[in-house]
Chains A and B, each alone.
Chain A
Amino acid sequence: MTDTPQSSRLSDQATLRYSVEDFLYAECELLDAWRLPEWYALFAEDAVYEITTPGMDDPDGANPDIDLFLVADDSERLRQRTIRLGKKTAYVESPRSTLSHLISNVRAAPQPDGLVTVRARFIVHRSRGDEIVHFFGHVHYRLRPQDDTFKIVSKRCILDFNSLTHQGKLAILL
């Protein structure tokens, strides 16, 4: 049986989603294992990594240049963040939390500029000592296809709750 144009499109979509999911699962694995330099290496040189402030107006569209985020790192500060979190003197994560990053509901779409935009939902379970907290929400990625995999050009995590009153702080990476 030969491919019709429609089934070819379906197959392209399935392939794209498979490769994106595979990439995101690998990212989750690195974060759970605290392999921070390897995680940082997933990002492009001009990347941004953002977490919006719970309860802010329009977190999907907000601009960190004029609005208060929780995290709005350029590539260099993200590198510094991973370096800091690797130190014993980053007391909030020393000893380290045990993390479980889950990602689901993945939708990937190729863009005319060659990038792939991704929407997904995430849950991160964090435990340390007797403490257990959960972070959940949705995430927007822009990925640049490169050498059979991707580089993260931007990642914006939107926490779908109204304050950090329950979690206290967000010192881990999402």
Chain B
Amino acid sequence: MTRAGSFLDIDHARASFRVHRDAYRDPEVFAREMKLIFERCWLYLGHASEVDKPGDYATRCVAQRDIIFMHTRAEGVHAFYNTCTHRGVTLCRDKRGSAKVLTCPYHGWVFNTSGQWMNTEAEKYPASFNSDGRYNLRRVERLEEYRGFYFVNFDQNAVSLKDYLAGAAELLDLIADQSPAGLTLIGQPHEYSIPANYKYLAENSFDAYHGVPTHSSYFEFLNTRLGDSEQQARLDEIMKDYAKGGLGAGLGNGHGLFEGWLPNGKPVASWIPPWGPEAKVEIDRIRRELKERFGEARMKRICDHQKNVVIFPNLVINDHVAITIRSFQPEGVDRMRVTAWAAGPKDELRMMRKIRLDNFLTFLGPAGFATPDDNEMLALAQRGASHTPVEWIDFSRDMPTDPSVDMLTSRGAWTDEHQLRAYWLRWDQMMNGTSGGLNR
């Protein structure tokens, strides 16, 4: 039987915060999530650089809906449901391209890039046929953009994207501000799947607690890279007490992050010895430019801090060894599909772009030195949830005992679980029909 009411068991006196495992394993819970969460939250669609010029488009599936992300030739960027208004056939079958019009492969119905139906058979369809626009492509209910990041919302009555993003908006600023030229995606994304509930990936993505145990083989690799350097000495110092290497925080509305300061190299713009002296010159130039624009403190935050941001419910933006935009689509209670784009400054030097991509492949991606081990842990978590009767899993690390602390925005060391509790609190609120005023 599907669980009613809250999925959380919060006991302040014990400093205990537990989530009932049905949240990961019950197909009925999944069906409710698709309604109560995915039809009400802002969901990542794509980046402006994917549809740079009028006519450019990309197609993708968001929350089990096929969408065309289109830079129209007449009226900016729009999102349409990818289905012909005649017989409902999938209209656009290419993943990306540039179009003058969209033509349905079935009966040849034609739409312009703004989604307007074009009457190519005036002798068969009268002028009044589409007078109310009923045969135009259906637009996704809401589409909004923040700093080049486009999101959709299937709820006409949702608050603005900016209000929804709350404290996460600042993290998008810190990425978008890395170059005055702006951000671009690099090549095509990694697309893969994980046999686990999507929430396991959200948790894993801003959980620094697992960093050392799960990724020890990555850290051993890093040690060989840094050699006998100032960076290695700093890394050694942090590894003595890893919790001091960063902070974790809820950012409001279920979003959260961890932010660390490991000296493991960041293309914008923190240098490590293996990159060589030429790269140091360029990194120093970028740091000076950023300092001029934003001052010392913000420059250092942009350059020296790793940020893993989770935007509720299914977007992760990593800004550490490289920038990744990772959106994950639930395909069932125990399976998700992941799309991970690499991004970088539009005007990045080729030398730095190479370093960025090298860094990306070392840690990230389904063939990297770390991500596959994460995926293994997620699959094991799903296995545990699906095949044992044990009910609860735990998120209590550094749980406040004071019930008046707002757990949507509380903070602590990055290895604590404040940001994970913020996610779950929000999830539980939405599953119980409240959305904190975000949907009217």
Residue ranges of A at the interface with B (Cβ–Cβ < 8 Å): 51, 53-57, 62, 64-73, 77, 80-81, 83-84, 87, 89-92, 162-171
Per-position binary interface string of chain B over residues 357-375, scored 1 when its CB falls under 8 Å from any chain A CB and 0 otherwise? 1101110011101011101
- The residues of A that contact B294 with a CB separation of less than 8 Å are none
Is B216 touching A67 in the complex (CB atoms < 8 A)? no
Is B357 touching A68 in the complex (CB atoms < 8 A)? yes
- Shortest beta-carbon distance from A75 to chain B in Å: 13
Is A56 touching B187 in the complex (CB atoms < 8 A)? yes
Given the interface contacts A81-B369, A84-B369, A89-B217, does A70 sit within 8 Å of B190 by beta carbon?
Answer: yes
- Shortest beta-carbon distance from A121 to chain B in Å: 20
- The residues of B that contact A53 with a CB separation of less than 8 Å are 187-190
Is B361 touching A92 in the complex (CB atoms < 8 A)? no
Pull 17 A–B residue pairs with CB atoms less than 8 Å apart, ordered by A.
A51-B367, A56-B188, A65-B354, A68-B187, A68-B342, A70-B367, A71-B367, A77-B358, A80-B221, A80-B224, A81-B369, A90-B373, A168-B366, A169-B366, A169-B372, A170-B366, A170-B372
- Shortest beta-carbon distance from A125 to chain B in Å: 18
- Shortest beta-carbon distance from A56 to chain B in Å: 5
Is A67 touching B350 in the complex (CB atoms < 8 A)? no
Is A170 touching B373 in the complex (CB atoms < 8 A)? no
Q: Nearest chain-B residue to A79 (Cβ)? A: B224
**B214 interface contact, C-beta 8 A:** yes
Which of B193, B217, B366, B367 gathers most chain A CB within 10 Å? B367
- Shortest beta-carbon distance from A41 to chain B in Å: 19
In the bound assembly, the distance between CA atoms of A121 and B338 in angstroms comes to 28
**B300 interface contact, C-beta 8 A:** no
Is A164 touching B186 in the complex (CB atoms < 8 A)? no
- The residues of A that contact B216 with a CB separation of less than 8 Å are 89
SS class, residues of chain A in contact with chain B: loop
Report the number of A-B residue pairs with Cβ-Cβ less than 8 Å: 109
Given the interface contacts A51-B367, A84-B221, A91-B376, does A164 sit within 8 Å of B190 by beta carbon?
Answer: yes
- Shortest beta-carbon distance from B310 to chain A in Å: 21
- Shortest beta-carbon distance from B340 to chain A in Å: 9
- The residues of B that contact A171 with a CB separation of less than 8 Å are 366-367, 372
Q: Nearest chain-B residue to A51 (Cβ)? A: B367
Please report which residues of chain B, range 295-343, place their CB below 8 angstroms from some CB of chain A when the two chains form the complex: 337, 342
Given contacts A54-B191, A168-B193, A168-B195, 15 further A-B contacts (CB under 8 A): A53-B188, A55-B191, A65-B354, A66-B186, A68-B186, A68-B188, A68-B357, A70-B361, A77-B358, A80-B224, A87-B220, A164-B366, A167-B192, A169-B192, A170-B366
- Shortest beta-carbon distance from A94 to chain B in Å: 9
In the bound assembly, the distance between CA atoms of A77 and B224 in angstroms comes to 10
- The residues of A that contact B342 with a CB separation of less than 8 Å are 68
Which 5 pairs show the lowest CB-CB distances between chains A and B? A163-B191, A68-B187, A164-B192, A92-B372, A171-B372
Is A92 touching B375 in the complex (CB atoms < 8 A)? yes
Q: Nearest chain-A residue to B224 (Cβ)? A: A80
Q: Nearest chain-A residue to B186 (Cβ)? A: A68
Is A164 touching B362 in the complex (CB atoms < 8 A)? no
- The residues of A that contact B353 with a CB separation of less than 8 Å are 65-66
* Residue in A64, A66, A168 whose beta carbon sits within 8 Å of that of B192 in the complex: A168
In the bound assembly, the distance between CA atoms of A167 and B360 in angstroms comes to 20
In the bound assembly, the distance between CA atoms of A67 and B362 in angstroms comes to 15
- The residues of B that contact A90 with a CB separation of less than 8 Å are 217, 373
In the bound assembly, the distance between CA atoms of A91 and B372 in angstroms comes to 8
Per-position binary interface string of chain B over residues 400-412, scored 1 when its CB falls under 8 Å from any chain A CB and 0 otherwise? 0000000000000
Is B366 touching A69 in the complex (CB atoms < 8 A)? no
- Shortest beta-carbon distance from B330 to chain A in Å: 14
- The residues of B that contact A69 with a CB separation of less than 8 Å are 357, 361
**B194 interface contact, C-beta 8 A:** yes
**B377 interface contact, C-beta 8 A:** yes
- The residues of A that contact B350 with a CB separation of less than 8 Å are 65-66
Is B367 touching A65 in the complex (CB atoms < 8 A)? no
Given the interface contacts A80-B221, A92-B372, does A169 sit within 8 Å of B367 by beta carbon?
Answer: yes
Is A87 touching B217 in the complex (CB atoms < 8 A)? yes
Is A91 touching B187 in the complex (CB atoms < 8 A)? no
Given the interface contacts A84-B221, A89-B216, A171-B367, does A165 sit within 8 Å of B192 by beta carbon?
Answer: yes
- The residues of B that contact A66 with a CB separation of less than 8 Å are 186-187, 350, 353-354, 357
Is A71 touching B188 in the complex (CB atoms < 8 A)? no
* Residue in A81, A87, A91, A165 whose beta carbon sits within 8 Å of that of B191 in the complex: A165
Please report which residues of chain B, range 189-217, place their CB below 8 angstroms from some CB of chain A when the two chains form the complex: 189-195, 214, 216-217
